[in-house]
Structure 1
Amino acid sequence: MFLIMRGKKNILAAALATALIGSAAGCGASSSDNTIVESENKAASFDYEAPVQTPNILVDQKGFLPDSDKVAVFRGKEIPTTFTVNRIDDDTPAYEGVILKETFDEKNGESYALGYFTDLVEEGSYYICADYLGESYSFSIAETTVSDIFDEACKKFYYNRCGIALSENNAGESGHSACHTNAARLQDDASVQIDVTGGWHMDEQADRDTNVGSKIAENFLLAYEMNETAFTDETGIPESGNGIPDILDEVRYEVEWLIKMQDDKTGGEYGAALTDSSKGGEVINYPVVVTPVSMEATINFAATLARFSYFYQQYDAEFATTCLRAADKAWNCYMVNQDITDDPLAFKAATQLYRATGSEAYENVINLFFSKSDFDELFNSDEDVFIGSVTYLSTSQAVDVDQCGKLMKCLMKRSGRIADESAKSIYLISDLESEEGFLKLLYDMRCLSITDHIIYNHEYTTIIENHLHYLMGMNPNAMNYVTDSTERTYQDENDKSGILNDPRNDALLIFMLSVLI
């Protein structure tokens, strides 16, 4: 058993008190023998590195909403029958619960079980204790538990803005002067310079990627559509208070950059704006090189700008029209250069352009994909087909009612499978070990979030909460993979970066959290 120093980030391992000093005469010498024999090595150097020890009671280190379901995972060679939830302030028990659903994992040679404490609704700071297993990390029960993470996740994109100065008033320690404001050069023709200021940095090198940016903006817009009330106009960015939800302001900042990355002549979208570190200096001052037009970036651009124009009409009709024209131009460029019949990206873009315009040309592309014999398989395996299908279900244009019924069956079947997988999991999640890291898990939660919006299901909300608990510490490593402010976080393992530091994952996390606000 080990003890946890609650409120700290390190664990107190049990002390190993080993007596290294014998009698002055040395081992085997009598007390009357005054001869001292010196070792050839007068001093020995030892370098002990204590192994990382993690609790056997796994819990969301951030905590729980007062009215939500609350659960912890217990693991060990022997599982007790009860546990207590103790107050941090005075170590007194606030709740006693029963441990349920014990299962044995042959792979790890340990038993696992669950303990629910949903009835504990008093706000405060706690830890869980159980015989044989010791203590959990600390956590809170508070109304702001989810909203705090949500606000931090959303603000990350403001901190990642390129091309403008970020004031300390809005950005705190992340504030900096304007970066990468000089004209960029084309990678395949260095004599051509273009203005590509703006957009979001995607990594520590301050690179900006049009594919990734388009998909992030797409997820933001879809999250806004599904859970509009979660997004306010008061998150503390420069546009706050302008009467437009801040999430749309943030997307507009990226969209304005995406438009700059469109080739005026062809309508194609350049792939990325990469910083060049070859001459040294600080990353904030690196020159920028623009990669060639990419057809994948072009069709993603068309899809995202069509979606943005649809939602932004009520706030700025002129700019929304500019976006729709840019989307149509990109679509035409793609049509000239690619075969759309087998590209799921074309299906997704067509659904969004059809929603925005009602044009029969886009509807024909949509119907072409619906006629495919493997469409149901594509719905489950390809995220672009999935998003396109959700868009079709949401359109106010004329639709094929029978096809909508088929799409709803696909959506419910996929969500049901995610729910079944989560129910069977030790950690109550749909995907424990994936080569894609957290991406599949986050995609699954996006699917449940969408289904939960169309047909509210408390079970789905609980599953989404359990996935958040997993990411925040209820996992095999007892690791908070989201924030860096709890007892054990991703920063304790140098080879792991937090979800908030990966813009693509962060956007999907925001989608997931918007259901719980």
Structure 2
Amino acid sequence: MEQEKRNGIAVNQLGFRRMDRKTAVIEGEGGTFRLISKTTGESVLEGKTGTAAEDRSSGKKVCRADFSGVQQDGTYKLETDEGQVSDWFTIGDEVYGAAHPALLKAFYYFRCGMELEETYAGVWKHAACHLTPAIVYGDETRHVDAWGGWHDAGDYGKYVGPGAKAVADLLLAYECYPNAFARALPLPETDGAMPDVLHECRYELEWMQRMQDAESGGVFHKLTTLRFPAADTMPEDDTDELYVSPVSATATGCFAAIMAMSARVYAGFDAAFAAGCKAASERAWDWLEQHPEVPGFRNPPEIVTGEYGDKVDTDERYWAAAELYRTTGEERYHEAFLQLAEREFDKYELGWADMGGYGTISYLLSERRGDLAVAERLRAGLLERAERLAAVSRKDGYGVSLQPEEYIWGSNMLVLNHAMLLLIADRVAGTDAYAELALNHIHYLFGMNVLGISYVTGFGSRPVKHPHHRPSEGDGVDDPVPGLVSGGPNLGIQDDYAREHLAGRAPAASFADVMESYSTNEVTIYWNSPVVFVLSHFV
């Protein structure tokens, strides 16, 4: 059954760092609130809520309780004279200390092609899977041995574009916040030399390299079976034939970009691997130059697994040119980037279909001089986008930067992509103007939302319990794999369960914690990855 919000006070169920601003959202007109210590059972603070206002996304009238003045470590709850009570939560500087590594460890649980041993996977262990070579769709005489990588989502498909977005978020998190990854998870590869985040990304990157067509240098779009397996199928029991879909420009552009980025990041840890990434990136770029006009990807006939169709490849080429220039310094990549920068497309989005933001970030964070006028134009555009998001966040009843119509499939990705962009804007501008707003997005994820649910499995007093995730459904373990981020509210109600049970709900309440509601409660690697980035700022 889906979980409804309890008792009218929504908080971050993990808690708040001692020196941060601390607020809760209370439904109704507000009034007096009290902060109760679990240790003594007594009130440590009494205050007045802010003015109540209608929140369009949740369909509720809400107000804020601010208890930032309390900085004493402890466990607390909020209550009002109307009988409203919050969940218990912690105040302390380690409130995210367990969640951050769990959100990263989730990628290990997404691994394909290897046994997940009990030593590392605990009760969520399972046997190796999907080890047979894949048929090249349309040329059944050819096979590609593309084992490994991460399952993309609640099913067992593997996709180059979404995988590149996830790796980019993690590598950016490491580049911006290396100290956040100082502790071992651990993983089977943990060696005390290279951080585990880089070990984990390498597992996906090596799979991507197997997806590069040996003949052309282009990159196959995806690797899946013809159709999805049953909802309770374990990975090792999904034994249908595997197919790689044809080469696409979007996959090849993403591949060129992420390999160039990886060549830079891994150079100080494994020179041979970094050189291999650089060579693979350059081969993919050559393919892009030889194929300037390519139709957008569509699923081939017979294949009905996730399409990840994308009609426009300008943003992927733009990202690839930026990363290749930043990594190699070669002027030909710079010239290509400058030409692409003149074209009309979104240069600030961070989604799997709109990769332009990664190209802009790479260019603005580059140590290379570049074109100062173009850099300034991109910088101004980034800061303008950030301020627009900030304005929405400041007005929203729950503090996030989504308009009502943006509660779409994977809305939690948008929530955290926006928070990520706010933090990047601060870095580019040399300010800390947006950090508090970015943290509001974390509060929302962990329970400060209209449903009072934590959208991360295993974390919070009332976390998601039934994600659309086949291993969690089929493994016989009561609790789902921990550290998985649910897609979140989706006003599109695009599955049978949602259509039957969620029609008429407010956008931010259009969510069901049931396996059947894949359009609201699925998990994916690229919903986890921006959370890792944002939380890295706060640990």
TM-score by length of 2: 0.80
Deviations 1:365-394 (A, max 9, x none): 11213334x57x644798422221111112
Secondary structure of the corresponding residue to residue 451 of structure 1: helix
Q: 1:298: Cα distance to partner?
A: 1.0
Match of 1:34 in 2: none
Match of 1:511 in 2: 533
Q: 1:279: Cα distance to partner?
A: 9.8
Task: Show the 5 A alignment for 1:132-151.
Answer: 132-151=82-101
Match of 1:37 in 2: none
- Pick one of 231, 255, 263 that aligns with 1:309: 263
Q: 1:233·1:242 contact (CA, 8 Å) conserved in 2? A: no
In structure 2, relative to structure 1, the CA distance for the partners of 1:205 and 1:111 (3 Å cut) is: closer
Larger Rg: 1
Secondary structure of the corresponding residue to residue 128 of structure 1: strand
- Pick one of 152, 157, 179 that aligns with 1:229: 179
* Distance in structure 1 (CA, Å) of the matches to 2:538 and 2:522: 18
Task: Show the 5 A alignment for 1:47-126.
Answer: 52=4, 54-76=6-28, 78-80=29-31, 82-104=32-54, 111-126=61-76
* 1:489 equivalent in alignment to 2:447: no
* Distance in structure 1 (CA, Å) of the matches to 2:210 and 2:168: 18
- Pick one of 393, 407, 413 that aligns with 1:439: 413
Amino acid at match of 1:179: C
Q: 1:133: Cα distance to partner?
A: 4.5
Match of 2:340 in 1: 369
* Distance in structure 1 (CA, Å) of the matches to 2:208 and 2:154: 20
* Distance in structure 1 (CA, Å) of the matches to 2:399 and 2:417: 16
* Distance in structure 2 (CA, Å) of the matches to 1:278 and 1:115: 46
Percent identity, aligned pairs only, is 29
Task: Show the 5 A alignment for 1:275-354.
Answer: 275=225, 283-285=235-237, 286=239, 287-339=241-293, 343-354=314-325
* Distance in structure 1 (CA, Å) of the matches to 2:229 and 2:111: 23
In structure 2, relative to structure 1, the CA distance for the partners of 1:486 and 1:314 (3 Å cut) is: closer
* Distance in structure 2 (CA, Å) of the matches to 1:486 and 1:224: 25
In structure 2, relative to structure 1, the CA distance for the partners of 1:205 and 1:516 (3 Å cut) is: same
* Distance in structure 2 (CA, Å) of the matches to 1:10 and 1:371: 47
In structure 2, relative to structure 1, the CA distance for the partners of 1:229 and 1:456 (3 Å cut) is: farther
Secondary structure of the corresponding residue to residue 293 of structure 1: coil
Q: 1:94: Cα distance to partner?
A: 2.5
* Distance in structure 2 (CA, Å) of the matches to 1:279 and 1:481: 25
In structure 2, relative to structure 1, the CA distance for the partners of 1:334 and 1:10 (3 Å cut) is: closer
Q: 1:232: Cα distance to partner?
A: 2.2
Secondary structure of the corresponding residue to residue 217 of structure 2: coil
* Distance in structure 1 (CA, Å) of the matches to 2:252 and 2:261: 14
* Distance in structure 2 (CA, Å) of the matches to 1:415 and 1:279: 41
Match of 1:470 in 2: 444
Secondary structure of the corresponding residue to residue 345 of structure 1: helix
* Distance in structure 1 (CA, Å) of the matches to 2:518 and 2:245: 29
Secondary structure of the corresponding residue to residue 273 of structure 2: helix
Task: Show the 5 A alignment for 1:91-240.
Answer: 91-104=41-54, 111-240=61-190
* Distance in structure 2 (CA, Å) of the matches to 1:120 and 1:289: 57
Q: 1:348·1:385 contact (CA, 8 Å) conserved in 2? A: yes
Deviations 1:6-36 (A, max 9, x none): xxx999xxxxxxxxxxxxxxxxxxxxxxxxx
Q: 1:59·1:473 contact (CA, 8 Å) conserved in 2? A: yes
Amino acid at match of 2:399: L
* Distance in structure 2 (CA, Å) of the matches to 1:278 and 1:257: 21
Amino acid at match of 1:74: I
Q: 1:216: Cα distance to partner?
A: 1.0
Q: 1:480·1:488 contact (CA, 8 Å) conserved in 2? A: yes
Match of 2:504 in 1: none
In structure 2, relative to structure 1, the CA distance for the partners of 1:54 and 1:417 (3 Å cut) is: same
In structure 2, relative to structure 1, the CA distance for the partners of 1:311 and 1:183 (3 Å cut) is: same
In structure 2, relative to structure 1, the CA distance for the partners of 1:352 and 1:188 (3 Å cut) is: same
Amino acid at match of 1:330: A
Q: 1:466: Cα distance to partner?
A: 0.9
Q: 1:79·1:132 contact (CA, 8 Å) conserved in 2? A: no
Corresponding pairs, count = 465
In structure 2, relative to structure 1, the CA distance for the partners of 1:261 and 1:149 (3 Å cut) is: same
Deviations 1:388-439 (A, max 9, x none): 1111112233411222222222222222222222111111211153124223
* Distance in structure 1 (CA, Å) of the matches to 2:442 and 2:229: 43
Secondary structure of the corresponding residue to residue 193 of structure 1: strand
In structure 2, relative to structure 1, the CA distance for the partners of 1:105 and 1:143 (3 Å cut) is: closer
Q: 1:233·1:244 contact (CA, 8 Å) conserved in 2? A: no
Is 438-447 or 268-277 further displaced after alignment? 268-277
* 1:402 equivalent in alignment to 2:373: yes
Match of 1:29 in 2: none
Secondary structure of the corresponding residue to residue 162 of structure 2: helix
Q: 1:226·1:450 contact (CA, 8 Å) conserved in 2? A: no
- Pick one of 357, 374, 378 that aligns with 1:386: 357
Q: 1:122: Cα distance to partner?
A: 2.2
Q: 2:55·2:396 contact (CA, 8 Å) conserved in 1? A: no
Secondary structure of the corresponding residue to residue 321 of structure 1: helix
In structure 2, relative to structure 1, the CA distance for the partners of 1:371 and 1:502 (3 Å cut) is: closer
Q: 1:327: Cα distance to partner?
A: 0.7
Q: 1:114: Cα distance to partner?
A: 0.9
Secondary structure of the corresponding residue to residue 34 of structure 2: strand
* Distance in structure 1 (CA, Å) of the matches to 2:445 and 2:188: 30
In structure 2, relative to structure 1, the CA distance for the partners of 1:164 and 1:279 (3 Å cut) is: closer
Secondary structure of the corresponding residue to residue 125 of structure 1: strand
Q: Which runs of 5+ in 1 are unaligned?
A: 1-8, 12-51
* Distance in structure 2 (CA, Å) of the matches to 1:257 and 1:300: 14
Q: 2:130·2:235 contact (CA, 8 Å) conserved in 1? A: no
Q: 1:501: Cα distance to partner?
A: 3.0
Q: 1:193: Cα distance to partner?
A: 2.6
Q: 2:5·2:452 contact (CA, 8 Å) conserved in 1? A: no
Q: 2:315·2:356 contact (CA, 8 Å) conserved in 1? A: yes
Structure scoring higher RCO (CA < 8 A, sep ≥ 6) equals: 2
Q: 2:253·2:313 contact (CA, 8 Å) conserved in 1? A: no
* Distance in structure 2 (CA, Å) of the matches to 1:468 and 1:416: 18
